[in-house]
Chain A
């Protein structure tokens, strides 16, 4: 049940980011200055941290989506749904730990 709740919450969050992201990217059609002005807000530390949250949400939603597909289509999917949930969490955590230091080094300008 918690995987279902998390799938919904991360899905809604990603949806609202997608709306904003299509609009900010559309500014390339207006002028280089307009696009650069808006995209520079993505580089401030607070938004840089929010991007970590976005990537974490995407990682969970994507991997749990694979789990949902396996539950639906794989004969043993229902039997292994619980262990697959923890596999999802583990892979998401590993990928997140691979991404976070690199992203933070870009946002805060340090070398790793």
Chain B
């Protein structure tokens, strides 16, 4: 991609919305929110209690039976994936030389982002902490099978 540098003092063309500006603002706004969400996530999952050793199906089932953590994780999913994908897009834009390669990579990044956002959102909303027929010892303590 050849770089076109505009003449000094030439007005910004207002033909379309300034997407790059919104992207730039999004990185900062989502970044601030993600600091709270991700450090909260790390603190409750890795620091409190038995940390990583305590994480299993029952742990996740216990958390996601509370709408508070459902919303928390859903926000984290959407904000982090879009933040990360937009960051990767910036890197691709910086280092690719051929336009076709750049477009393919950017398109792939947003496709992966969309698939994971849809998958994650469906999982958070359709998750059953007490699936029928599952081994009782693997389930959270509030399940009737216990």
B-binding residues in A (CB < 8 A) = 8, 11-12, 14-15, 18-19, 22-23, 25-26, 28-29, 31-33, 35-36, 39, 42-43, 48, 51, 55, 58, 62, 65-66, 68-69, 72, 99, 102-103, 106-107, 109
What distance in Å separates the Cβ of A15 from its nearest Cβ neighbour in chain B?
Answer: 4
A111–B64 alpha-carbon span in the complex (Å): 30
Contact A32 B135 (CB under 8 A): yes
Report how many A-B pairs have Cβ atoms within 8 Å.
107
Enumerate chain B residues within 8 angstroms of A43, measured Cβ to Cβ.
52-53, 55
Majority-rule SS of B interface residues: helix
Interface string of B110-146 (1 = CB under 8 A from A): 0010001001101100110001001100110000000
Size bracket of the B interface: 35 or more
Enumerate chain A residues within 8 angstroms of B50, measured Cβ to Cβ.
106
Enumerate chain B residues within 8 angstroms of A32, measured Cβ to Cβ.
56-58, 131, 134-135, 138-139
Enumerate chain A residues within 8 angstroms of B123, measured Cβ to Cβ.
25-26, 28-29
Enumerate chain A residues within 8 angstroms of B81, measured Cβ to Cβ.
18, 22
What distance in Å separates the Cβ of A34 from its nearest Cβ neighbour in chain B?
Answer: 9
Instruction: Identify which of A15, A18, A29, A69 contacts B32 (C-beta below 8 A).
Output: A69
CB of B106 closer than 8 Å to a CB of A: no
What distance in Å separates the Cβ of A86 from its nearest Cβ neighbour in chain B?
Answer: 19
Contact B84 A22 (CB under 8 A): no
Contact A106 B51 (CB under 8 A): yes
A/B interface sample: 22 pairs, CB < 8 A: A11-B84, A12-B88, A23-B116, A25-B120, A31-B131, A32-B57, A32-B58, A32-B139, A33-B134, A33-B138, A39-B55, A39-B56, A42-B55, A43-B55, A55-B42, A65-B28, A66-B31, A69-B32, A72-B28, A99-B42, A103-B47, A106-B46
Enumerate chain B residues within 8 angstroms of A31, measured Cβ to Cβ.
131, 134
CB of B105 closer than 8 Å to a CB of A: no
What distance in Å separates the Cβ of B32 from its nearest Cβ neighbour in chain A?
Answer: 7
